[in-house]
Structure 1
């Protein structure tokens, strides 16, 4: 897989108050944005793992929320299983083993999961795209390769990123990258009909502007912007990390619009280097660092309680020290929260000093924003209420 709607009251003096209710000892912060003041409070919650060794690598990005945000399934690479966390009780509630090989095999490298109706789940791995039950039984494979495209030819490919919708017929959505043209496509598979339609996921050619490539014979390097694919607030969302543009699609693959906005606290996009081919990989990594120093965007998430979208972004601050094997020096991040109405109109922004990174799992629950935290190797969340 995995990063919404807002009801705001405008006071007489044009002060927007966003109140974050917190249960345990919490902090209250305010941030000035011109003539608007956003007040929020923060709570840290810790999950009782009950002795289970949860997999916190990759900031629990390989995970899936249920429809009401009551629980979350986390992929556990340690024993190739799914761990269920009860978000109401704040505790581990069970494990669902998966098989790597055999008739119910998922393959070793699981890339994403998403929950469907009736307790079923969709798993995308390096070898399979399929529907499983929670007992790990494979119920249905998706056959992208043998499905037909709009010209009647076999697709003969598998998308890099996928998720499955189970409303009015199974439809799979996937991202495919055309290296020759540096384009990103949104491919939609109608599972029952084995028909695929392709759409331009980057109609303004934003993605290709940020591809960094070096054919240095000592160190070939290719760094593409990370592209987000999600289903939030009833629409398909596609965007990437170095520009705030978001393209929106309906559940049939119909293009709706491209969202662009002018933030006050961060740039709206990175300024591209304009270099087609770097002479050395070192120069490429320096520009990649420069990109992250400008701005980096996370995906939008939908808050169905308040009918709004939320999105994190960050500006990285780099030190002089570098860990062995790291591409860039150690860094910290200034993290910002952007709030949109249900039509993706930007309402407000706030700097959130309590957050240290935008590239981690975050979601909404009961009108609050929950952001993954590693609390001394225990699972926790920072909960923003506003």
Structure 2
């Protein structure tokens, strides 16, 4: 197995290094891959609430507990993942000095006592007991280096660094794809902006329809996620991926020699349409091509993995979308070490979280919150 080739190593925001992964033909850890599926019902005791309203999932430091946002009551539910049992409901306030952001989009578990919350316009650090610890500005004019003429919103795909000194976002225009990476130093209130040219292709695979003063936008997007201590910035439209190493202050571009699927989507699609029907038609065409999921970390096998999907079609008989699904595995240095078609799975699980070699996706069973548990046997 050849190591990732480091072509250059320059300081973050001055330039970006690139690494290319190569996989030997005979080395494929997924050659005998199999998986099993189980459904785990969360024991909520006598609690009664909307079972399908969980959103956003964050693990505790030891990986044994899950924190998930329950929007109807502005609560974070803490779940024991060994017993699959609701442990505690952390309650937050909708107004006053301890008000959490309205229309919450992002949550991050920072420590045993603190959580980060953010919407597209507000952000802050809160104690799990409900008190606000710190407000974090998402206004460009508050950051030297960006200023009032910065043309993009900072409230997209927001991540807090582990030391809580920096906030990373993927600035965008409303309903649009990301324009690059912003690094906000919330200690000295300085901001830096870095373009991400390898992910600009994403713009070609997102379509907008306007509705009065608003609109809807569908298609692929870029994502930033803290995974195993690294900020991984990727897109559903391409396998190219950026890795932001905050400890070493470096940004690297990774490319991968996938053999089973194309490297990226191709072709031309309209960027704006005039009806919902045309919106669905165009996005169906976009989704028939390759789409890549986010990266996950398997701490048991010490590997990263992600999934892919092609040929998505509406199955009229089943009244659901089906597709060809793929699994890709990478070692700790992001070498591609395996890829396979996932037989027996006709949709790509998205979102969710991992614990060991298991992938969990939110589900509902009768009146109870639940998780579909995929055990991945490498």
TM-score between both structures, scaled by the size of structure 2:
0.79
| 95-104 vs 257-266, which moves further | 257-266
Q: How many residues get paired?
A: 346
| 286-295 vs 172-181, which moves further | 172-181
Are residues 1:352 and 2:342 paired?
A: yes
Q: Does the CA-based 8 Å contact 1:101-1:107 persist in structure 2?
A: no
Where does residue 257 of structure 1 map in the other structure? 252
2:375 pairs with one of 360, 364, 384: 384
Where does residue 30 of structure 1 map in the other structure? none
What is the rounded CA distance, in whole Å, between the counterparts of 2:131 and 2:375 in structure 1?
37
TM-fit CA distance, 1:211: 2.8
Do the aligned partners of residues 64 and 183 (structure 1) sit closer, same or farther apart at CA in structure 2, a change above 3 Å counting?
closer
Are residues 1:161 and 2:157 paired?
A: yes
Q: Does the CA-based 8 Å contact 2:170-2:179 persist in structure 1?
A: yes
What is the rounded CA distance, in whole Å, between the counterparts of 1:220 and 1:182 in structure 2?
14
Do the aligned partners of residues 279 and 382 (structure 1) sit closer, same or farther apart at CA in structure 2, a change above 3 Å counting?
same
Do the aligned partners of residues 232 and 347 (structure 1) sit closer, same or farther apart at CA in structure 2, a change above 3 Å counting?
same
> Tell me, what secondary structure is at the counterpart of 1:286?
helix
> 1:1-386 residue pairs with structure 2 within 5 A?
37-46=31-40, 47-53=42-48, 57=52, 60-145=54-139, 146-150=141-145, 157-167=153-163, 170-178=165-173, 184-203=179-198, 205-213=200-208, 222-223=217-218, 225-251=220-246, 254-278=249-273, 282-315=277-310, 316-320=312-316, 330-353=320-343, 355=345, 357-358=347-348, 360-366=350-356, 368-377=357-366, 378-386=369-377
- Cα deviation 1:108-127 (Å, max 9, x = unaligned): 31111101124211011255
Where does residue 16 of structure 2 map in the other structure? none
TM-fit CA distance, 1:290: 1.4
Q: Does the CA-based 8 Å contact 2:66-2:78 persist in structure 1?
A: yes
TM-fit CA distance, 1:299: 0.5
- Cα deviation 1:241-281 (Å, max 9, x = unaligned): 22222112222795532222243443332223244554665
Do the aligned partners of residues 355 and 81 (structure 1) sit closer, same or farther apart at CA in structure 2, a change above 3 Å counting?
farther
RMSD across aligned positions (CA): 3.3
What is the rounded CA distance, in whole Å, between the counterparts of 1:121 and 1:216 in structure 2?
35
TM-fit CA distance, 1:194: 0.9
> Tell me, what secondary structure is at the counterpart of 2:158?
strand
Q: Does the CA-based 8 Å contact 2:136-2:186 persist in structure 1?
A: yes
> Tell me, what secondary structure is at the counterpart of 1:184?
coil
Do the aligned partners of residues 304 and 351 (structure 1) sit closer, same or farther apart at CA in structure 2, a change above 3 Å counting?
same
> Tell me, what secondary structure is at the counterpart of 1:75?
strand
> Tell me, what secondary structure is at the counterpart of 1:108?
coil
Q: Does the CA-based 8 Å contact 2:113-2:127 persist in structure 1?
A: yes
| 65-74 vs 95-104, which moves further | 65-74
What is the rounded CA distance, in whole Å, between the counterparts of 1:85 and 1:54 in structure 2?
15
What is the rounded CA distance, in whole Å, between the counterparts of 1:212 and 1:253 in structure 2?
37
What is the rounded CA distance, in whole Å, between the counterparts of 1:362 and 1:183 in structure 2?
22
- Cα deviation 1:62-112 (Å, max 9, x = unaligned): 121122321111111221211111112221111101111111111331111
What stretches of structure 1 of length at least 5 have no aligned partner? 1-13, 19-36, 323-328
> Tell me, what secondary structure is at the counterpart of 2:179?
strand
What stretches of structure 2 of length at least 5 have no aligned partner? 1-25
